[in-house]
């Protein structure tokens, strides 16, 4: 049923007396959102005198910071201050890190940068334009270091250390053993192994980060408004970093959010950074992250390598599992990381009954943006391995993948099921849920479609995925990264406290506030449904207050909007608070109506005796009594005005000494299947039919659940087919715009068939479980399995872009013909395939002797004339120069201060030309080997170059970097030829004859 | 993401625009639809001192057919051209290609001449201009000149236009009777920059294939009638001659694959729709 159909169905079917909970009520918040009345963080008023911040970011993936010169920037009119790592050292401390490894992460780079986009300095000015003008005038001296761009590289002891004190780029390793996997492997009929990699990506909310920070020197306290989403376990991390107690960091969040999907957790380093800025400048500070900053440097899902091996019986039953997970957390372990690796620790065996398990978890640091919360947190990574493995087992054993899933699902009778690693799957009937999806989703028809397509020679495949969707994280799971000994020293951590406050006003209105911030889940709608039902009121009687203030609202470290905890924990806590308040109101009413409190009922705005509905009070009258006439209350009774409840799920304990951890309070079940067709020519994947079956416990509002499922599905289609934060091997970041980081639009996302079952959770007050993240866990691998089935291949890699898929279909390229006729603008000679590094080679023939060419290259005046855009060149040492160059392509120009050197001189045969420089557009470095060969016509100049371009221009112009580099290098050699007395034509350009023929209208 | 400071001029006439451009030199930039320039300004990739806006100039709104050419003035948007009822008859290749240019929102502001002046190697309009052997009408305060498309595009974002010139108009030759035209493109999502775009023209003399997105400018090749393995071989040679680069979305090898495969289907479609 589509959303519109659901609403239509609801409005025609629902009876006025039915409870509101469970009904598909359209979102109450949408009127404000859709009419532009909603006020987001950036819309809120700022204090007089507020300064606007712009952040200077590292163009290098890894470099030492040798010095920062901000004098010119401070001279820009309207600039109040430039804040650097020195200020951070003065007013802040490094952030706490979740593992025992000596790594320092500051809110501004101190001494070293470790990823492209890392904040290096902040300009504070009267407006953002002026601040950005001044950014371009800050000069930073860097010494580039080798970047670490993969977990394999991080594991190599020879890799450059990101955090030298840690001694390795693998900063934590833990091994876990549950049951006796070795025995199972020794006796199993089959062993099936698989290695998979999950790419870095993110859910990219529409609204980027916003921070408004102020510092009160009288109290030594910070007040910050930001769109931080929680978990508020990070609040003490921020307070510690600002060197204040928690009470002196008052953190507020606005009533509306432009989306988060977990990402807004990662605003926290900027809360500290802007706090420091406010303190340094003595004025309030506002910072709004722009899209380039967000894509480049905000946050990312972790990349993960999984090495899996299963011991499998002949019938496909998995007897034991070995997994090694290596997590790419980026340059720093930012709280709550490495949580993405441990969030699923209790459900590592997924929806399957696999009794024996061994796990090795390794955490790698790399020269990439630090990872953080992102919808599906760790689940997409885990299930990409696990469900690809189930598919591989089927393939290896010659079984139907669906039968392998069926054979291994946790049986209904085993619920609640204890997983080997300590999880407690709370409810559900996985096998019959799967069969219902197969039936209602039309798997038989889909198989027929596949048969027909294949008979016609088309590439069509079917994929499956069965996953459990954890929700309401145990705050203790992250301590599983520590040893039992380390945990004993630190004290137990567990639980998932949610807080809610419900109050009645003198007119009988009810207000609700919760320790969560909205991100699109429909807080107003669901909480109004829950509370209205408790008091027998109408939706419009309930006011849900969605802004949040750590100084005034009830909260704990588990507060916030993450781990799909809203429906289960937050709405549950609100229900607990409302029920307690209602029971107190009932005791007051009991006295007035002369019946026992247990007989008091609340419905239709009335409070009445169950046995005699005429014996009634209006709800508003009862509510008003507490405000207006506390003297009339029965003896010993306090007015029932307000109730705050803290609720924590009972089953959430700290990890045991044997490392068993129930990492989440509830576990939903999802079974997906899909049919995809792959275009044989282009490799494009088309999702033909997608079925997603969810059991998320009790649905509080099916319409909102549908929205969550469709949203998660859309983002998962992005993960499967389009999205990746791409980096070059040299560390440059390549996905800086939405033309480079490709989020699917409505055009690319098909409407899935969404099916539901409801197995209420015994753990949560309302029986609800999380539902919003599941498709981010199930859908990428379901699509991948379908593509693998369509192509009949073993290995598929996300995102399944046409270029990757086509390579799987087409195999080796037809060879280059013997006679070629390179066209203008094509890479000259052989294009050197350098992956994502820039490189190339070429040659030119010059009508001059090698000695003459050599003399030109070694003459500084001549060299100045050859270098594109060279405005000044001065000698810096033997054969080395400092040059001012303005280079670029078309209208794009950057002024670079470049260092140019000639080395490995072998006159007049060969030399190496190196250059490096930086500008506000980014950095460039290149090395060219130039050889001169005497020929009959003069000299053949051959060159082979490699280049590295970093910073902004690489992040937004990756598409044209190669051809731009080629153009500039071509200009150099064209000039060399001209200086050596040759014509300005080069090999690969149209010949004179070609041009002549073209003039005559004859094409060649 | 705020632009560096610049002056903004909305001239009353082309003459005023050209005088300002001559004075501003390399530091002045022309803007019309702004669909490529504005993001580059905001990212400070381009930092002109003066921005001269041609979009309001009535003189540049020419959109007419004369002497066998369709002329499109500098202020004409891609949407306006697309909405021309006779376009499919006049220049069928353009009619087939324009829906691939960005999104309808960007076409509402983006101009035809702006796309030509910008010279993105993946852009559809420069590809059509090259395929059809159209012309670029350049004008400065000093003179007017006409440059054939084959000589106009010199590299990525690089053209034969001098700093004091504007692209006053571009012109496309009208469809030749009996010729067939086809356009195909592969992009990551509809509206994205083409990984490879193909334009084919077929008539009694032979076929022409123009390819965008592979080399650093549109490339054109003509063949006598070819089919079967001869066409495969010719396309393979063309693909290798174009070369192509790897970027984060597609490898050079994939671009060449598309030249072979999509090039072929585009040619077949052009052959099939000859009248």
Q: What is the mean pLDDT of residues B27-43?
A: 95
B195, B181 in Cβ contact below 8 A?
A: no
On whether the CB atoms of residues A325 and A304 are closer than 8 A, the answer is: yes
Residue B258 near chain A (CB below 8 Å): yes
DSSP result, A501-562: EEEE-TTS-EEEEES---SSS-HHHHHHHHHHHHHT--GGGEEEE--EETTTS---TT-SS-
For residue A837, pLDDT beyond 80: no
pLDDT greater than 90 at residue A826: no
Residue A999 has pLDDT above 70, yes or no: no
Q: Are B108 and B79 in contact (CB under 8 A)?
A: yes
Which site among A53, A682, A743 would you substitute to test the B interface, given the most B Cβ atoms closer than 10 Å to its Cβ? A682
Residue A1001: band (very low, low, confident or very high) from pLDDT cuts 50, 70, 90: very low
**How far is the alpha carbon of A991 from chain B, nearest alpha carbon, in Å?**
13
Q: Which of residues 20-79 of A touch B (CB under 8 A)?
A: none
What pLDDT, in 10s, does the model give residues A266-322?
999 999 999 999 999 999 999 999 999 999 999 999 999 999 999 999 999 999 999
Using an 8 Å CB-CB cutoff, list chain A residues near B156: 889-890, 960, 963-964, 967
Average pLDDT value over all residues in chain A: 93
Label residue B226 exposed, middle or buried (CB < 10 Å: 0-12, 13-18, 19+).
Answer: middle
Write out chain A residues lying below 8 Å of B245, CB-based. 827, 831, 962-963
The minimal CB distance from B1 to the residues A292, A814, A834 is found for A292
Confidence at A835, pLDDT banded by 50, 70, 90: very low
Closest in A132, A807, A1003 to B2, CB measured? A132
Q: Using CB atoms, which residue from A726, A920, A966 is nearest to B44?
A: A920
Least confident of A413-422, A631-640, B30-39: A631-640
Q: Cβ distance B216 to A825 under 8 Å?
A: yes
Least Cα separation, residue A148 to chain B (angstroms): 18
Cα–Cα distance measured from residue B240 to residue B219, given in angstroms and rounded to the nearest whole number: 12
Q: pLDDT tens across A335-367, in order?
A: 999 999 999 999 999 999 999 999 999 999 999
Pick among A722, A826, A998 to test the B interface (most B CBs inside 10 A): A826
DSSP code of residue A815: P
Range B202-206 average pLDDT: 92
- C-alpha of B112 from chain center: 7
pLDDT over threshold 60, residue A989: no
Q: Is the pLDDT of residue B257 over 60?
A: yes
The arrangement of strands across the sheet holding B7-9 comes to B7-9, B50-53, B28-31
A994, pLDDT greater than 90: no
State how far the Cα of A319 lies from the Cα of A354, in Å rounded to an integer.
6
pLDDT at residue A9 greater than cutoff 70: no
Interface of A with B in 841-900 (CB under 8 A): 889-893
**Chain B residue at shortest CA distance from A821:** B241
Among positive and negative, which fits the CA dihedral A38, A43, A48, A50?
positive
Query: What is the model's pTM?
Result: 0.95
Instruction: Give the C-alpha separation, A508 to A495, whole Å.
Output: 35
What pLDDT score was predicted for residue A824?
Answer: 66
Give how far A958 is from chain B: nearest CA, Å.
Answer: 6
Asked if A850 contacts A934 with a C-beta cutoff of 8 angstroms, the reply is yes
From the list B172, B220, B227, the residue with the least C-alpha distance to A1004 is B220
How far is A864 from chain B, CA to nearest CA, in Å? 21
Per-residue model confidence as pLDDT tens digits over A929-988: 999 999 998 999 998 988 888 888 888 888 888 888 888 888 888 888 888 876 544 444
Residues in chain A within 8 Å Cβ distance of B188: 722, 742, 801-802
Chains A and B form CB pairs within 8 A to the count of 190
* Interface test mutation site (partner B, options A824, A868, A871, A920, max chain B beta carbons within 10 A): A824
What is the interface pTM, i.e. ipTM, of the complex? 0.96
HSE (CB half, 13 Å, CA atoms) of A973?
28
Interchain contact A718–B (C-beta under 8 A): no
Cβ–Cβ contact A628 with B under 8 A:
no
Please tell me if residue B212 touches chain A, with a CB cutoff of 8 Å: no
* pLDDT at residue A985 in the model: 46
Per-residue confidence band for A896, with pLDDT thresholds at 50, 70 and 90: confident
Instruction: Identify the pLDDT of residue B180.
Output: 97
- Confidence category of residue A703, pLDDT binned at 50, 70, 90: very high
Tokens 């038989």 correspond to A444
| Token pair in block for residue A166 | 């840690």
At A531-586, the pLDDT tens digits run: 999 999 999 999 999 999 999 999 999 999 999 999 999 999 999 999 999 999 99
Question: What is the three-state SS of B2-56?
Answer: CCCCCEEECCCCHHHHHHHHHHHHHHEEEECCCCCHHHHHHCCCCCCCEEEECCC
Cβ neighbours of residue A766 closer than 8 Å, sequence gap 6 or more? A21, A530, A567, A568, A571, A572, A575, A698, A700
Q: For the segment A222-262, what is each residue's pLDDT rounded down to a tens digit?
A: 999 999 999 999 999 999 999 999 999 999 999 999 999 99
Distance of alpha carbon A15 from the chain centroid: 42
Query: With an 8 Å Cβ cutoff, is B46 touching chain A?
Result: yes
d(CA B267, CA B183): 9
Distance CA A96, CA A103 (A): 9
Between CA A749 and CA A718 the distance in angstroms is 9
Check pLDDT > 50 for residue A834. no
**Residues whose CB falls within 8 Å of the CB of residue A485, separated by 6 or more in sequence, listed in order:** none
B40 to A682: CB separation less than 8 angstroms, yes or no:
no
CB contact residues (below 8 A), chain B span 62-101, against chain A: none
Q: What is the pLDDT of residue A825?
A: 62
């Amino acid at each position: 049923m589509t959303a519109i159909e659901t609403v239509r169905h609801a409005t025609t079917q629902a009876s006025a007396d039915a409870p509101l909970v469970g009904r598909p009520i359209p979102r109450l918040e949408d009127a404000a959102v859709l009419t532009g009345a909603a006020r987001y963080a950036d819309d809120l008023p700022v204090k007089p005198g507020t300064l606007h911040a712009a952040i200077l970011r590292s163009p290098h993936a890894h470099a030492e910071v040798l010095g920062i010169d901000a004098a010119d920037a401070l001279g820009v009119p309207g600039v109040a201050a430039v804040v650097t790592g020195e200020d951070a050292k003065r007013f802040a401390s490094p952030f706490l890190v979740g593992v025992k490894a000596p790594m320092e992460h500051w809110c501004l780079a101190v001494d070293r940068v470790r990823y492209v986009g890392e904040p290096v300095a902040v300009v504070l000015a009267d407006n953002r334009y002026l601040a950005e003008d001044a950014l371009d005038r800050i000069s930073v001296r860097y010494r580039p270091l080798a970047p670490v761009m993969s977990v394999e590289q991080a594991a190599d002891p020879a890799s450059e250390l990101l955090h030298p004190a840690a001694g390795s780029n693998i900063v934590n390793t833990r091994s876990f053993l549950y049951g006796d996997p070795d025995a199972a492997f020794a006796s199993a009929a089959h062993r099936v192994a698989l290695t998979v990699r999950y790419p870095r990506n993110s859910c990219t909310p529409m609204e980027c980060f916003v921070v408004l920070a102020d510092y009160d020197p009288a109290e030594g306290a910070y007040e910050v408004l930001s769109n931080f989403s929680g978990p508020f376990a990070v609040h003490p991390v921020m307070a510690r970093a600002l060197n204040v107690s928690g009470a002196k960091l008052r953190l507020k969040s606005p009533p509306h959010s432009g989306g988060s999907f977990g990402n807004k957790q990662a605003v926290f380093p900027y809360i500290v950074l802007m706090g420091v800025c406010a303190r340094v400048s003595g004025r309030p500070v506002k910072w709004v992250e722009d899209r380039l900053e967000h894509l480049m440097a905000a946050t990312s899902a972790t990349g993960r390598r999984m090495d899996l091996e299963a011991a499998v019986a002949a019938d496909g039953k998995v007897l034991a599992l070995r997994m090694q997970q290596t997590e790419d957390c980026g340059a720093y372990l930012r709280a709550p990381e490495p949580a993405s690796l441990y969030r699923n620790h209790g459900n590592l065996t997924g929806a399957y009954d696999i009794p024996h398990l061994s796990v090795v978890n390794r955490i790698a640091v790399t020269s990439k943006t630090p990872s953080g919360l992102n919808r599906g947190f760790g689940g997409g990574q885990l299930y990409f391995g696990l469900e690809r493995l189930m598919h591989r087992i089927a393939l290896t054993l010659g079984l139907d993948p669906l039968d392998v899933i069926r054979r291994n699902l946790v049986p209904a009778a085993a619920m609640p099921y204890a997983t080997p690693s300590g999880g407690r799957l709370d409810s559900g009937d996985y096998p019959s849920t799967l069969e219902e999806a197969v039936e209602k989703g039309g798997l038989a028809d889909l198989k027929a479609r596949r048969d027909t397509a294949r008979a016609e020679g088309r590439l069509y495949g079917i994929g499956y995925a069965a996953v459990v969707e954890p929700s309401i994280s145990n705050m203790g799971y992250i301590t599983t990264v520590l040893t039992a000994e380390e945990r004993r020293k630190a004290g137990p951590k567990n639980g998932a406290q949610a807080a809610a406050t419900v109050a009645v006003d003198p007119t009988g209105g009810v207000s609700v506030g919760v320790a969560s911030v909205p991100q699109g889940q429909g807080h107003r709608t669901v909480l109004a449904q829950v509370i209205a039902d408790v008091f027998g009121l109408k939706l419009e009687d309930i006011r849900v207050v969605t802004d949040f203030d750590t100084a005034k609202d009830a909260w704990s470290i588990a507060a916030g909007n993450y781990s799909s905890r809203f429906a289960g924990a937050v709405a549950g806590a609100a229900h607990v608070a409302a029920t307690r308040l209602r029971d107190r109101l009932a005791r007051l009413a009991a006295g007035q109506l002369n019946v026992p409190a247990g007989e008091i009922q609340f419905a239709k705005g009335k409070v009445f005796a169950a046995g005699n509905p005429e014996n009634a009070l209006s709800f508003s009258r009862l509510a008003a009594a507490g405000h207006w006439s506390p003297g009339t209350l029965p003896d010993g009774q306090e007015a029932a005005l307000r109730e705050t409840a803290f609720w924590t799920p009972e089953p959430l304990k700290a990890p045991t000494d044997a490392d068993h951890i129930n990492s989440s309070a509830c576990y939903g079940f999802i079974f997906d299947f899909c049919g995809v067709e792959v275009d044989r020519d282009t490799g494009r994947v088309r999702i033909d039919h997608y079925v997603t079956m969810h059991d998320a416990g009790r649905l509080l509002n099916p319409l909102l659940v549908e929205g969550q499922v469709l949203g998660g599905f859309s983002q998962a289609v992005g993960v499967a087919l389009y999205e990746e934060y791409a980096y070059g091997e040299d560390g440059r970041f390549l996905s800086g715009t939405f033309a480079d980081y490709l989020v699917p639009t409505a055009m690319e996302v098909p409407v899935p068939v969404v099916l539901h079952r409801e197995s209420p959770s015994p753990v949560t007050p309302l029986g609800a479980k999380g539902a919003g993240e599941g498709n981010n866990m199930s859908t990428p691998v379901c699509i991948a399995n379908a593509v693998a089935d369509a192509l009949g291949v073993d290995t598929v890699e996300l995102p399944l872009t046409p270029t990757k898929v086509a390579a799987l279909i087409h195999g080796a390229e037809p060879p280059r013909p013997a006679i070629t006729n390179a066209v203008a603008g094509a890479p000259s000679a052989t294009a050197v395939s350098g992956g994502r590094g820039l490189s190339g080679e070429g040659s030119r023939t010059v009508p001059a002797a090698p000695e003459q060419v050599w003399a030109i290259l070694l003459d500084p005046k001549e060299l100045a004339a050859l270098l594109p855009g060279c405005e000044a060149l001065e000698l810096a040492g033997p054969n080395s120069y400092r040059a001012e160059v303005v280079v670029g392509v078309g209208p794009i120009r950057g002024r670079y201060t470049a260092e140019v050197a000639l080395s490995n001189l072998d006159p007049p045969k060969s030399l190496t030309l190196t250059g490096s420089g930086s500008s506000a557009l980014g950095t460039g470095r290149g090395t060219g080997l130039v050889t001169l060969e005497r020929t009959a016509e003069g000299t053949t100049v051959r060159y082979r170059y490699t280049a590295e371009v970093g910073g902004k221009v690489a992040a937004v112009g990756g598409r044209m970097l190669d051809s731009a580099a080629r153009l500039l290098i071509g200009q150099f050699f064209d000039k060399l030829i001209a200086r050596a007395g040759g014509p300005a034509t080069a090999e690969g350009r149209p010949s004179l004859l070609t041009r002549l023929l073209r003039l005559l209208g004859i094409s060649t | 993401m705020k632009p560096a400071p610049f002056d903004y001029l909305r001239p009353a006439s082309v003459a005023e625009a050209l005088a300002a451009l001559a004075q501003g030199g390399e530091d002045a930039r022309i803007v019309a639809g702004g669909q490529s320039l504005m993001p580059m300004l905001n990212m400070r990739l381009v930092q002109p001192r003066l921005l001269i806006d041609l979009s309001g100039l009535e003189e540049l709104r020419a959109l007419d057919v004369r002497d066998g050419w369709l002329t499109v003035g500098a202020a004409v948007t891609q949407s306006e051209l697309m909405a021309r009822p006779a376009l499919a008859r006049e220049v069928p290749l353009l009619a087939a290609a324009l829906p691939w240019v960005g999104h309808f929102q960007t076409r509402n502001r983006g101009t035809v001449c702006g796309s030509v002046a910008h010279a993105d190697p993946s852009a559809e309009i420069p590809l059509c201009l090259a395929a059809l052997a159209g012309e670029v009408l350049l004008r400065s305060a000093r003179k007017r000149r006409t440059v054939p498309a084959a000589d106009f595009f010199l590299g990525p974002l690089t053209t034969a236009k001098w700093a004091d010139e504007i692209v006053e108009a571009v012109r496309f030759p009208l469809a030749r009777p009996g010729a067939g035209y086809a356009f195909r493109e592969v992009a990551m999502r509809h509206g994205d920059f083409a990984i490879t775009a193909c334009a084919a023209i077929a008539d009694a003399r032979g076929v022409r294939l123009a390819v965008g997105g592979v080399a650093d400018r549109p490339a054109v090749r003509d063949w006598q009638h070819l089919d079967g393995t001869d066409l495969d071989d010719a396309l393979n040679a063309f693909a290798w001659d174009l070369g192509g680069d790897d970027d984060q979305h597609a490898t050079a090898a994939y671009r060449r694959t598309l030249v072979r495969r999509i090039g072929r289907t585009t040619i077949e479609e052009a052959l099939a729709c000859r009248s």
